[in-house]
Amino acid sequence: MIEICPSILSADFSRLGENIHTVDLGGADQIHLDVMDGHFVPNITFGPPLIKSIRPVSSKPYWAHLMISEPEKYIKSFIKAGVDGIVIHAEVKADTVELCKLIHDNGCDAGISLNPATPIEVILKILKHFERALIMTVNPGFGGQKFMSEQLDKIVRIRENYGNDIDVEVDGGIDVSTAPMAVKAGANMLVAGSAIFRKADPVAAMTALRRAAEDAEQILQ
């Protein structure tokens, strides 16, 4: 089963609640929340207060993708704001297995993400602690960038080592033409921002994305 996770980074922030409500009713599986601190990435987005205010809009799982340098300082605040899962980056200074434990101890699921420049070997051994791997197929920081297909080999490597024991999510440049490549590599969760929210009909765009992904999945079976 492929899961579609709209990233609100590309939503209309003046109508954020409405936008989330639309994709919720339209069949989104999860809501992807891109948190940026202007330090780990060259952009700033939002934090726990905003997440708390949009939490009641949907009962789907909310996952925060923390593109921040010191996640250890904020993990508890994000969990208090109501997220179901937290993705940290492998490139942060802190011990990521300790961060994973902190997330779990506070009742949340945990994921780990890799920037394009970071080799898969950095997380292959520690992945057993996490529920999810998030493979970046753009350099994090902005929506609407070009998909980096050479990153897909990382997904293949995870599946070779872990089979279906972990969720593998792809983030960056996902649309109807790139989603099938990600699924064929072994991804079961797709993040999409501009391919959903920058379209005139986000629900139709999400449906088209799901269809493209499921067609690719069928070919695999």
Enumerate the active-site residues.
34, 171
Q: Which of 34, 139, 30 is nearest to 91 (CA)?
A: 139
Determine which residue in the list 47, 48, 111, 141 makes contact with ligand DX5, applying CB under 6 A. Answer: 141
What is the length of the chain? 221
Question: With binding defined as CB under 6 A, does residue 10 bind ligand DX5?
Answer: yes
* Tokens representing residue 126 in the block: 């520690």
Residue 67 CB, nearest approach to ligand DX5 (Å): 6
The per-residue DSSP string of 86-134 comes to EEEETTSSS-HHHHHHHHHHTT-EEEEEE-TTS-THHHHTGGGG-SEEE
213, 1 contact by CB (below 8 A): no
Question: With binding defined as CB under 6 A, does residue 135 bind ligand DX5?
Answer: no
Question: With binding defined as CB under 6 A, does residue 191 bind ligand DX5?
Answer: yes
Q: Which is nearer to ligand DX5, 7 or 151 (CB)?
A: 7
CA dist 69 → 103, 120, 151 (Å): 16, 20, 23
Binders of Zn ion in range 25-84 (CB under 5 A): 34, 65
Match 């009713």 to its residue by tokens.
25
Q: Which stretch binds ligand DX5 (CB under 6 A): 2-10, 54-62, 95-103, 200-208?
A: 2-10
Secondary structure class of 185 (helix, strand, coil): helix
Instruction: Give the H/E segment covering residue 208.
Output: helix 202-220
Determine which residue in the list 31, 83, 171, 216 makes contact with Zn ion, applying CB under 5 A. Answer: 171
Question: With binding defined as CB under 6 A, does residue 71 bind ligand DX5?
Answer: no
Q: Which is nearer to ligand DX5, 111 or 140 (CB)?
A: 140
C-beta neighbour count of 56 within 10 angstroms: 9
Residue 105 CB, nearest approach to ligand DX5 (Å): 26
Question: With binding defined as CB under 5 A, does residue 169 bind Zn ion?
Answer: no
34, 50 contact by CB (below 8 A): no
Residue 22 CA to residue 58 CA, distance in Å, equals: 10
Determine which residue in the list 143, 166, 205, 213 makes contact with ligand DX5, applying CB under 6 A. Answer: 143
Q: Which stretch binds ligand DX5 (CB under 6 A): 76-84, 98-106, 161-169, 189-197?
A: 189-197
Question: With binding defined as CB under 5 A, does residue 132 bind Zn ion?
Answer: no
Q: Under the rule (CB under 5 A), what is the footprint of Zn ion?
A: 34, 65, 171
Q: Under the rule (CB under 6 A), what is the footprint of ligand DX5?
A: 7, 9-10, 32, 34, 65, 138, 140-141, 143-145, 171-174, 191-195
